[in-house]
Amino acid sequence: MDIELAPEDLAFREEVRAFFKENEYKPGEDYAQWRLDWFAKAAEKGGWDVPKWPVEFGGPGWSPTQHYIWEQETAVANLPWDMPFGIGMLAPVLMAYGSKEQQDRFLPDIRARKVNWCQGYSEPGAGSDLAGLKTKAVLSDDGTHYTVNGTKIWTTAAHIADWIFCLTRTDDSGKKQEGITFLLFPMKQEGVEVKPIITLGGAHSVNTVFITDVKVPVENRVGEEGKGWTYAKGLLQHERTGLAGLSRSLVALDKLKNQARTVKRGNATLMDEPAFRAKVAELEVDLMAAEYTELRSLASASAGAAPGPESSILKLKGTEIQQRIQKLTVEAGGLYSAAWGAKQPGPSFARSGMSGYLASRAYTIYGGASEVQKDVISKNVLGIKKSK
Ligand SMILES: Cc1cc2nc3c(=O)[nH]c(=O)nc-3n(C[C@H](O)[C@H](O)[C@H](O)COP(=O)(O)OP(=O)(O)OC[C@H]3O[C@@H](n4cnc5c(N)ncnc54)[C@H](O)[C@@H]3O)c2cc1C
């Protein structure tokens, strides 16, 4: 998609590119230190370490076009490893609903990437039906702390997380959306046990977390007791906007085209085959349409609005596009994509193609399954009521 860039936007793009180049990782450098320094230098640029945070919390206050440029440039640059849980998910909840003490206590370490967070929402019996969660938090008689018991599942990065933001049930007498309370507690303590779940592609990123008699001081409750559902939903909208990954898909699609140009088909290449070209073209058109939706969302975000239910459109379309790119990468690798093990034949892209494809199956599940996004879109965007 070509959007007309004004001279000041072109200058901004050059500044961003120069920053990435100047602060590139150099082989042999201590990666952990480089990572922390990178974010510190980005902070000195005036909030480049927290592009989506509001100005009053240190964000850069960019225009939608500047955000768009940033997204595009970060998709091709070699940025330090980062996690969305603190910076993109918990932080907006603390800004909107946390106390001043909680903001002062947690936001600086989140911003400095010194503390890793994980998200304790899903449970063995509560995924799409998240409001059915059962992890129990009981307030002590003196009102000083909660005792938490229960099991969380699919918890990404729980094994490396320092803290968890956790949905708990403090009351089960009313509607299931009521009586949910949003608590924060450290992971490295007695009573928190993390067990790995190895996924299809052989990776360890998700876990089961068993919580037994964990004491959480009331100061670590975000907002009011029983109102956690409201905060949890707001957080999900931020999560969904972040999962679309459209700029990364643009780069991946370009890479796919180049890979297909290296696959011989008679006297031509796979990229010259009409059937393959048609699939790539269809993807490109869908990606462009999704990009316009993202621009609309960026425009309202930079006008100060929190992401609304339209974040479900981005999540749905963006993750489907990512999966289609992975599928076509496997198709381009042909039989070589099925090879597994240390010594693999065929082009190098076929090696990572299959693991990427297997990992991509989860994109339309986490952050709320696609079927659930369709429900949200039909109800809250299109205004369609459920038939009785
Ligand atoms: C790789 C990965 C990482 C994750 N990371 C985290 C994390 O860090 N923290 C966290 O809390 N959770 C995490 N999750 C959990 C994720 O949010 C849930 O898996 C997801 O919400 C779906 O819930 P479920 O697995 O219980 O499936 P279910 O809710 O049991 O759904 C099963 C199937 O039924 C369909 N379905 C359910 N309800 C409806 C409906 N109303 N209409 C139509 N179809 C429906 C679903 O679309 C799905 O296809 C992760 C999941 C994965 C796969």
| pLDDT tens digits, 76-94 | 898 999 999 999 999 999 9
Helix (H, G, I), strand (E, B) or coil at 194: strand
The model's pLDDT over 253-288, given as tens digits with 9 standing for 90+, comes to: 999 999 999 999 999 999 999 999 999 999 999 999
> Chain-centre distance of CA 200, in angstroms?
20
Q: Which amino acid is at 246?
A: L
- What pLDDT is stored for residue 213 in this prediction? 98
Tens digits of per-residue pLDDT, 168-202?
999 999 999 999 999 999 999 999 999 999 998 78
Mean pLDDT of 27-51: 96
HEC letters along 317-378:
HHHHHHHHHHHHHHHHHHHHHHCCCCCCCCCHHHHHHHHHHHHHHHHHCCCCCHHHHHHHHH
| pLDDT of the residue at 343 | 78
Tell me the pLDDT of the chain averaged across its residues: 93
Structure confidence at residue 323 as a pLDDT band (50, 70, 90): very high
What atom in ligand 1 is closest to the CA of residue 119?
9
With vertex at residue 239, the alpha carbon angle to CA 73 and CA 34, rounded to the nearest 5 degrees, is 45
pLDDT (0 to 100) of residue 178:
94
Q: Which amino acid is at 270?
A: L
DSSP 161: -
- Centre of ligand 1 from the C-alpha of residue 179, in Å: 22
Domain annotation for the chain: domains and CATH numbers: 7-82 (no CATH), 116-226 (2.40.110.10), 244-381 (1.20.140.10)
CA dist., res. 160 & res. 113, Å (int): 13
3-class SS of residue 294: helix
The values of phi and psi at residue 71, to 5°, are -55, -45
Has this prediction a pTM greater than 0.85?
yes
Determine the Cα–Cα distance for residues 73 and 304; give it in Å rounded to an integer.
Answer: 23
124-150 per-position pLDDT tens digit? 999 999 999 999 999 999 999 999 999
| β-bridge pairing 163-169 and 117-120 | parallel
How many angstroms is it from 127 CA to the middle of ligand 1? Answer: 5
Q: Nearest C-alpha to atom 35 of ligand 1 is from which residue?
A: 371
Nearest CA to ligand 1 atom 27: 127
The amino acid sitting at 71 is E
